[in-house]
Amino acid sequence: MQLLGRVDYDATYAAMRESTQARTPASPDQLWLCEHPPVYTQGLAGKADHVLNPGDIPVVQTDRGGQVTFHGPGQVVAYPLIDLKRAGYYVKEYVYRIEEAVIRTLAHFGVTGHRVGGAPGIYVRLDDPFSHAALSGPMHPADPFRGLGKIAALGIKVSRHCTYHGVALNVAMDLEPFARINPCGYAGLQTVDLSTIGVRTTWDEAAQVLGHKLAIYLAP
């Protein structure tokens, strides 16, 4: 686990790709934890019209899955660089394991995280983020995120069985830039962080907890 601190997105993206391309079957897996200066990143299938008003925040086209998201200070971004063939599980389970690590990280802070079918990432109840009740009944067809806020976004890339990109957990950040996009391609999806739902923690503590949970849940 490497805590990189605040690092430029473009340089980190380039380093991830270079590290992945240079890997051999003997290369050790890595986990990078960092935060970025304000930047919008667009996924491979990302639609330009989901970027509503970026203003002076740069928009970077990437090779990960998913749609547009925002990275900024106060967000823990985790980049697992893992050989899935060696780990012994497939992409679908990899995504599940990342989400489970985020759910367990939130639980550490007393928050209940939820999955929403077909929408990777982790969500919390806006009315009671500390409620342990499961999401019940079918989601509202016109608004599958009714009553929910997104607290963690996930976008990955797998090349020759090896992963890069990863997951971003919102800790205590300026959330306004999320209003200038359709987060992850969903118009009006509310984005929250630990701070806005009443959890007081530091970036370092959240990074350590998330890193520890990812190390456990991504283990072979």
Q: List beta partners, residue 119.
A: 116
Q: Which two tokens stand for residue 101?
A: 């690590």
5 burial (CB, 10 Å; 0-12 / 13-18 / 19+) is exposed
Measure the CA dihedral 88/18/80/23, to 10°: 30
Q: Considering 184, 199, 206, 207, which one is annotated as catalytic?
A: 184
150, containing H or E segment: strand 148-159
How far CA 11 is from CA of 37, 139, 144, in Å, comes to: 12, 39, 36
56 burial (CB, 10 Å; 0-12 / 13-18 / 19+) is exposed
Active site residue 162: no
- Provide the annotated active-site residues: 184
